[in-house]
Amino acid sequence: DGGITQSPKYLFRKEGQNVTLSCEQNLNHDAMYWYRQDPGQGLRLIYYSQIVNDFQKGDIAEGYSVSREKKESFPLTVTSAQKNPTAFYLCASSMSGRTNTGELFFGEGSRLTVL
Amino acid sequence: AQRVTQPEKLLSVFKGAPVELKCNYSYSGSPELFWYVQYSRQRLQLLLRHISRESIKGFTADLNKGETSFHLKKPFAQEEDSAMYYCALTHIFGNEKLTFGTGTRLTIIP
């Protein structure tokens, strides 16, 4: 079954702890993205990567970190420096370069709650 | 900087009535615009894109560069249209990040 898999679906964390959200895709897409979805604020881009071993900050990168060691994987770490980490996180992927149609394929999301 | 504005957070429409979800954008380059939809308990997915000039599920959207708008329209609303709708923008040649609006929750009243 092709697509994007995010895990875990729900995650609870104590303040001061780092947490890593997993995102894996088997669509052979070059580009991957992390968005944060908050009520009334839509989707805001955290980080994106257009190719392995390269990534760029999005609009709200502070307090987050990513890595892109494999084409299939783009994990997001929410660090203790993120001031308001409780949110719904969406991972997405797309083709890039000349084949890029602009369509993003999304995962089911991970809901992080900081206690 | 690119920006997408969806002025309505909530929109309720009676079944069979016309639907229009508003989207305005600001962008200095050549824009490509999209509408994404998230039905209850489903993933966010592409509904339609301007460049395809297509009608999906009865929805259409026209790019008005003079008014910098990309409103989503459907002549007769159906109950299954109830969902969260996001307008999004990127550069026409792609390879750039997609910027989303804040979304409009559409509810179709039976």
Question: Could A33 and B9 be called an inter-chain contact, meaning their C-beta atoms sit closer than 8 Å?
Answer: no
Model pLDDT for residues B49-106, shown as the tens digit of each residue: 887 778 889 999 988 989 999 999 999 999 999 999 999 998 766 566 789 999 999 9
Nearest to A42 among B45, B51, B101 (CB): B101
Torsional class of B102: left (φ above 0), alpha (ψ -120 to 50), beta (otherwise):
alpha
* Interface residue B90 vs chain A (CB under 8 A): yes
| pLDDT at residue B54, as a whole number | 80
| pLDDT at residue B61, as a whole number | 94
Model pLDDT for residues A50-104, shown as the tens digit of each residue: 899 999 999 999 999 999 999 999 999 999 888 889 999 999 999 876 556 678 9
CA distance B100 to chain A (A): 6
Which residue in chain B has the smallest CA separation from A37? B102
CA–CA gap between residue A12 and residue B18 (Å, rounded): 43
| pLDDT at residue A32, as a whole number | 94
CA–CA gap between residue A2 and residue B14 (Å, rounded): 37
Give me A19's structure tokens.
């947490």
| pLDDT at residue A115, as a whole number | 85
| pLDDT at residue B45, as a whole number | 94
Residue B6 makes CB contacts below 8 A (sequence gap 6+) with: A42, B21, B22, B23, B85, B86, B87, B101, B102, B103, B104
A114 or B97: which carries more pLDDT confidence?
A114
* Interface residue B7 vs chain A (CB under 8 A): no
**A46, A98, A99, A106: which to substitute to probe chain B, counting the most B Cβ within 10 Å?**
A106
Provide, as residue numbers in chain B, all residues whose Cβ is less than 8 Å from the Cβ of A101. 49, 94
